[in-house]
Structure 1
Amino acid sequence: MVPSLLFEVMLIGLLGIGSQWLAWRYRMPAIVVMAVTGLLVGPIFGLINPEEDFGDLYNPIISVAVAIILFEGSLNLSFKELRGLGKPVFRISTVGAFIAWILGSLTAHYIAGLSWAVSFVIGGLFIVTGPTVIMPLLRQSKLRPRPAKILKWEGIIVDPIGALLAVFAFEIISFLTSSNPDGSKLLMFFAASIFAAIFGWLCGRGIGWMFETGHIPEFLKSPAVIVVVIFCFTGADEIMHETGLLSVTAMGITLANMGISSVQEMRHFKENITILLISAIFIMLTASLKIDTILHIFSPNIIGYVLLMMFAVRPLSIFLSTIGTGLTTNEKLLVGWIAPRGIVALTVSSYFATVLLAEGYEDASILTTLTFGLVIFTVIAHGFSIGWLAKKLNLSMEGKPGSLIVGSNKFTVELAKSLSKLDVPTIIVDNNWERLKIARESGVPFYYENMLSEQTEYNLDTIPYEYLIAATDSNSYNGLVCTTFMPEYGRMNVFKVSPYNKDEKNAMEIVSKVGGRVLFKKDVTLKDLIEKIDSGFVFRQTTITEQYTYKQYLQEKDEETVFLYLIKPSGQIKYYSEEMRTVPGVGDTIISLMPPNKEKKKIQARLYN
């Protein structure tokens, strides 16, 4: 056992964030790493048992964490962004979710042996997939846009719905299965639910109004939102249990649809606090499990339940709900297989396990075990099979890895055009419509939004792009973009134009300390590149062969030539950077920016020979 409760709090935080880092470093599902970590320090080695050690504080901590996680998820439900998502997404998120709830509940009752009330609660919870587990899988598999869009938006939309469905299912089934059904109690619940929704709406409108009118300073906005979320959850829950989740969901949806810029500016804070809570809560939940509970996962009824959920319930709900939507059989097969349950499902199920046990449903004791089994099996099975299955079904985006360029200007547009000529997927992102005029007139694909906004994260399909280039005229913004997306793209795939300034003594310190590798040369800035374009520099392709070696190419090139990138015969792109050693080989094609006089001489030589 640990020496003190304070030490245990420190250990939980360290293990949670450490597991997240380990998962990122070695490209593993974070939920699996956290599960193994929690089991090792909890039931296996007996170092901690948070449920016992925290005592009466354990359940309130879990409840508050679930409230904040659900609020963060509901902040993504902007009605404006949901328009035009298409029939498949709408049908899967409504009809498909309902079918999955009914089939999942029947499976829980007849296969897992749970009571009707517990079955319908868990059936509602297990319609949730969630963006926290879906998004990494989509990037890993490089799915085509349509199935990727369906899976992504299903996770975003259904995420907060599952918990609310579980709440209503619990109350209705409890009423229907009661030996002495009391209609007034059910009416009271619905009245309290209406109050909770209105209360959440008022909390959302109130904090939104204070943001818009400047009644809350910038440094207090994020803490104020967290406090109001807890107030909103607790206020509704004290009036009637289980309605707090509905209240915070209503608050999040209200804020998401008010169009407040401050809400978007809290993106990083929301992500940070949610990751911290998810990591800590997951360690606490798994560390509190008992050995008997873990072994129970491998009992025939739970194994049977998990297999039916994966191989029958999910595929059936997708195939039935997408009839007449235009999806191909291959797309239905893929979407019908991929449905990993994540941390939200486990944290919310733990919350409901406590509620159900308090109401006298003894079979709810295995709720966490059942959820844990489904989470682990689906994450591992879907995580390791999605890439293979996508290729087998011809739903994987094969071809050269694309490049996402942040910043529209003369140089980036010409760079994008050179990449497009080589069939490399390319897009330019900028939040200034005037700057995008160059890209629009050149026919280069573009996206009009701030790269750091949450709308971009959920609306822009970044799956085809393995490289990110920050090339705006703001060095600080370039550095922030690189730092933000480095965990997602990887340190080797994130670049920025050089912030080097001959007039600044500390220029090299800026170059080395701000995130992202410097493109091309440290002494060639974006301003220099644009000036070269204005002075007539051209993009030129040169293929290295056994007859025309790289050494010969270096001898003949002009001193002002800037090496940009090379493409290998396999289609792999390598951008030039002084921080990375790039040595072209036979068959590689080098793309460089060279002076016009060199090109003119070559043209003249061809004309006179």
Structure 2
Amino acid sequence: MLELASIFVLGIFAQWLAWKIKQPAILPLILIGLAIGPLSTFFTEDGSKLIDGDAIFTGDLLFSFVSISVGVILFEGGLTLNIKEIRSLAGTVRNLLIIGALVTFVGGGFAAHYIMNLSWEISFLFGALIIVSGPTVVIPILRNVRPNTNVNTVLKWEGILIDPLGALVAVLMYEFILSSKHGNGYQLEVFQDFFITISAGIVLGGLGALFLYYLIKNNSLPSYLQNVFTLALVIFTFAFSELIHAEAGLMAATVMGIVLANVKLEELKKILSFKEDVSVILISVLFILLSSRIDIAQIEKLGWPSIVLFLIVIFLIRPIGVLLSTRKANLNWKEVVFISWIGPKGIVAAAVASLFSIDLVREGGYVDPREAELLLPLVFLIIVGTVVLQGSSAKWVASLLGVRRKEPHGVLIVGANELARKIAKIIASQGIYTLMVDTSIPNVREAKKMGLRAMQANILSDNIFDEIDLSKIGKLVAVTSNSGLNDLACSWFEKELGEHNCFRLASKEESENTNIPLPKNVLFNTRTDFVALVQLLRSKGAVEEITFENTVHYEEFMDKHTTQVIPLFYKNDEDQIQLISGFSSKSDKLDTLVFIKKPNFAIQEEDVASDSDLN
């Protein structure tokens, strides 16, 4: 029990460390797995590992757990794939899944044979295993780099769809190895199994998604059971697909996620959030478990040829595959180069390599056991190498090529009521792009009369992300009279904009009860609620600005007039604003503060360096 508990704790620590150093979590996870596994044998008296995955999960139990976990991870990845975002790049993604995969398979096989002197069977099995990429490594890199829409869409779709496809190719090659040793040569029936596997996965995954959609839309599931029922249904669909045909589960889980992502389901955001939490736990456990299974003797056998093989995979095979796949794509050369550079390997490669290496060694007679033992550490070398090299350099390469998305500074305002229109007017006067969203047609019409951008829509609908151009939006400001709606709007957009960029007004309870801690995302860092702010502006509260000589000057001003002014935001010379909240109540720079002054309040000469009325 202590070993299993340690893996959970170390896994979450690795996730935190990855966030801290801004690297994909797979890197610290594998390093920790190696540290407590093969590397720990140097420090134990009897030469045993501190933790060994084979000792925790005996027999086939480990690989059953790995397979189901990978299925859940791919389902969560499928939930993020919206068909609308890929329409113009569907051909590119298709080519990467077919041409790119074929180049990797053939190129990896030849390279492994001639560089590592492996048999043709093991070489092409290695080539099949390095086809996969995966959301566990690609998505963290994309979040850190924030590339433009074209690059982000291509890499995300390829990373998620290539996992089940790569696993199926690996299974196909594995079956070839087995059938070739029966004396009848390679069996073409293996291809038939391949297409049956794909078909079974697509059909069963689609049926599972439609069944869940029917239950939720008809209120046949209570809200508190929707998440866990979804998890149970994903596992059932995966297991049932595996019973119909081996290895169909990964395809079924991925298809189930994609179908759910493209139907109108209001509960999808809640389900996706739950699945992300589950995936973090599963990924953390899996990588440490699989890494701990490697033996130090296997690592020592790799030698320098394995480094040459690694360099050929990332500097030759991947670029060739991408270039052939993007010949007629709507991508410029800089985008093609960056896509060529990003091809990290993830959990599916590790899991399937672990499974095949054990089976080939255990069965015997099919290939040289010494070569089969090299398969797992060789794949892990490619995984660690691609994650370290590409993950650490991705942001620098993207900046060098100019394919990073420009940081948007626009403000999305939830509500088009009287207060929202006033705040929008103030922000827009600074040259900042603003967009107001409200379900009230009269409110939207009034906002447009004032020359403001406004649209009639439900801010909590699934379609809102398609209707709004988020490339221009950097912050969300929820200023409706409904505090519950304000909270939900912030939660709804946190993943898209970041927690530090979603703000709301204080609720009535927070305004009246000073014993309630004020959340950091409360606008203007004040307990003044919607009603009080409206009354203040109606009573001729003026909006002014002031530029301070230094931060001490600002602190003195706020201490002296804290009950007479409401700070709104800072602005700088680069047409950017910083909203006042618990995240940032003061500026480190000598920016200009825009604030609301209450009636009968006059700024003294000693308070200001310069000021001007914005009304």
Q: What is the TM-score of this pair, normalised by structure 1?
A: 0.79
Rounded Cα–Cα distance in structure 1 between residues aligned with 2:479 and 2:342: 36
1:407 aligns with 2:414: yes
Per-residue displacement from partner, 1:234-273 (whole Å, max 9, x unpaired)? 3333454323333333444444445444444312221111
Matched, 1:147 2:151: yes
Q: 1:602 maps to what in 2?
A: none
For the 8 Å contact 1:120–1:173, the answer to whether it is kept is: no
Does residue 343 of the first structure (1) align with residue 347 of the second (2)?
Answer: yes
CA separation of 1:312/1:535 partners in 2, compared to 1, >3 Å: closer, same or farther?
Answer: farther
Give the unaligned 5+ runs of structure 2. Answer: 41-48, 603-610
SS at structure 1 position matched to 2:524: coil
- 8 Å CA contact 1:568–1:589 kept in 2: the answer is yes
Aligned partner (choices 350, 354, 373) of residue 365 of structure 1: 373
Q: Equivalent residue for 2:14?
A: 19
* Inter-partner Cα distance in structure 2 for 1:583 and 1:182: 70
Q: Which residue of 2 aligns with 1:283?
A: 288
The residue type equivalent to 1:508 in the other structure is: T
Matches within 5 A, 1:192-207: 194-207=199-212
- Give 1:44's aligned residue: 39
Q: 2:310 aligns with which of 306, 309, 313?
A: 306
Q: Distance in 2 between matches of 1:434 and 1:154?
A: 44
Q: Residue 322 of structure 2 aligns to which amino acid in structure 1?
A: I
Give yes or no for the alignment of 1:241 onto 2:236. Answer: no
Letter in 1 for 2:280: I
Is the CA contact 2:76–2:272 (under 8 Å) kept in the aligned structure 1? Answer: no
Moved more, 173-182 or 361-370: 173-182
More divergent stretch after superposition (285-294 vs 241-250): 241-250
Q: Secondary structure at the match of 1:565?
A: strand
* Paired AA for residue 162 in structure 2: V
Distance 1:118 1:375, change over 3 A: same
Partner of 1:508: 514
- 1: distance between equivalents of 2:102 and 2:536? 59
Check 1:593–1:245 CA distance in 2 against 1; reply closer, same or farther (3 A cut).
Answer: same
| CA pair 351-214 structure 1, distance change in 2 beyond 3 A | farther
CA distance in 2, matches of 1:134, 1:434: 44
How far the C-alpha of 1:202 sits from its partner, in A, is: 3.5
1:553 Cα shift? 7.9
Match of 1:53 among 48, 51, 56: 56
Match of 1:577 in 2: 581
Query: Which position in structure 1 is the counterpart of 2:44?
Result: none
**For 1:280, what is the secondary structure of its paired residue?**
helix
Q: Structure 1 residue 284: deviation in Å? A: 0.9
CA RMSD of aligned residues (A): 4.4
8 Å contact from structure 2 (residues 570, 587) kept in 1: no
Which of the numbers 29, 36, 47 marks the counterpart of 1:34? 29
Q: CA 1:176/1:43 → structure 2, altered by over 3 Å: closer, same or farther?
A: closer
Instruction: Identify the match of residue 270 of structure 2 among 265, 274, 283.
Output: 265
Judged with a 3 Å threshold, the aligned counterparts in structure 2 of structure 1 residues 413 and 148 are, in CA distance, closer, same or farther, namely farther
Relative distance call for 1:234 and 1:7 in structure 2 (3 A) is same
Q: CA deviation at 1:372?
A: 1.9
Q: 1:232 to 1:12 in 2, by over 3 A?
A: same
Q: Displacement, 1:391? A: 2.5
CA pair 425-355 structure 1, distance change in 2 beyond 3 A: farther
SS at match of 2:593: strand
1:389 Cα deviation from its structure 2 partner = 2.1
Contact 1:142 1:396 in 2 (8 A): yes
Query: Displacement of 1:374 after TM fit?
Result: 2.0
Q: Does 1:323 align with 2:327?
A: yes
Change over 3 Å in CA distance of 1:309–1:150 after alignment to 2? same
Structure 2 CA distance for partners of 1:167 and 1:338, relative to 1, 3 Å? same
- Residue identity opposite 1:150 in structure 2: V
Give the alignment partner of residue 395 of structure 1, picking from 391, 403, 426: 403
Distance 2:107 2:137 in 1: 23
User: Per the alignment, in what secondary structure is the counterpart of residue 498 of structure 1?
Assistant: coil
Q: Does the residue aligned with 2:381 lie in a helix, a strand or coil?
A: helix
* Alignment partners' CA distance in 2, 1:342 and 1:246: 17
Shift of 1:278: 0.9
Tell me how far apart the structure 2 counterparts of residues 113 and 253 of structure 1 sit (CA, whole Å): 41
- Say which SS state the counterpart of residue 592 (structure 1) adopts: strand
Counterparts of 2:319 and 2:113, CA distance in 1: 19
Q: 2:592 aligns with which of 589, 594, 604?
A: 589
Q: CA deviation at 1:316?
A: 1.9
Residues 72 and 270 in structure 1, CA contact (< 8 A), matched pair in contact too: yes
Question: Distance between the aligned counterparts of 1:104 and 1:49, measured in 2?
Answer: 30
Map 1:443-592 to 2 at 5 A: 444=453, 469-476=477-484, 478-479=486-487, 495-501=503-509, 504=512, 507-512=513-518, 516-530=520-534, 540-544=544-548, 561-569=565-573, 573-577=577-581, 580-582=584-586, 586=590, 588-592=591-595
Letter in structure 1 aligned against 2:282 = L
Gap change, CA 1:541 and 1:19, over 3 Å in 2: same
- What is the alpha-carbon distance in structure 2 between the residues aligned to residue 471 and residue 156 of structure 1? 37
From the superposition, tell whether residues 573 and 380 of structure 1 become closer, same or farther in structure 2 (CA, over 3 Å): farther
C-alpha distance 109-538 of structure 1, shift in aligned 2 (>3 A): farther
Contact 1:117–1:174 (CA under 8 A) maintained in structure 2? no
Q: C-alpha displacement at 1:33, in angstroms?
A: 1.9
The Cα shift of 1:364 comes to: 4.0
**Range 44-53 or range 423-432, more displaced:** 423-432
Q: Secondary structure of 2:17's match?
A: helix
Task: Tell me whether 67-76 or 299-308 shows the greater mean CA deviation.
Answer: 67-76
Q: Which amino acid aligns with 1:7?
A: L
* Greater shift in the superposed pair: 324-333 or 485-494: 485-494
Of 197, 200, 223 in structure 1, the residue corresponding to residue 228 of structure 2 is 223
In the alignment of these two chains, the number of paired residues is 587
Letter in 2 for 1:304: V
Q: Equivalents in 1 of 2:575, 2:214: separation in Å?
A: 52
CA distance in 1, matches of 2:170, 2:439: 40
Specify the code of the residue in structure 2 equivalent to 1:376.
Answer: V
CA distance in 2, matches of 1:252, 1:398: 30
Residues 179-217 of structure 1: CA deviation (Å, up to 9, x unaligned)? 514445654564465445434444333344333444443
- State the SS of the aligned residue for 2:394: helix
Equivalent in the alignment of 1:3: none
Q: 1:556 Cα deviation (Å)?
A: 12
For 1:324 and 1:82, locate their aligned partners in 2 and report how far apart those are by CA, in whole Å.
16
SS in 2 for 1:55: coil
Relative to structure 1, is the Cα distance of residues 500 and 66 closer, same or farther in structure 2, using a 3 angstrom cutoff?
Answer: same
Give me the whole-angstrom Cα distance separating, in 1, the residues matched to 2:589 and 2:193. 75
Give secondary structure in 2 for the equivalent of 1:520. Answer: helix
Q: Distance in 1 between matches of 2:356 and 2:436?
A: 46
Deviates more, 1:18-27 or 1:119-128: 119-128
Given that residues 31 and 342 in structure 1 are in contact (C-alpha distance below 8 angstroms), is that contact kept between their aligned partners in structure 2? yes
Identity in percent: 30
Note closer, same or farther for the CA distance 1:79–1:203 as it changes in structure 2 (3 Å cut): same
Gaps of 5+ in 1: 1-5, 600-604
- Alpha-carbon spacing, 1:130–1:426, altered in 2? closer, same or farther (3 Å): farther
CA distance in structure 2 between the partners assigned to 1:501 and 1:34 by the alignment: 43
Aligned counterpart, 2:216: 211
Q: Which residue of 2 aligns with 1:386?
A: 394
Please tell me whether the aligned partners of residues 414 and 476 of structure 2 are also in contact (alpha carbons under 8 angstroms): no
User: Which amino acid in 1 is paired with 2:390?
Assistant: H
Calculate the TM-score normalised by the size of structure 2. 0.79
Q: Deviations over 1:459-510 (max 9, x none)?
A: 9886876655454544345446657877997776554322244885xx3354
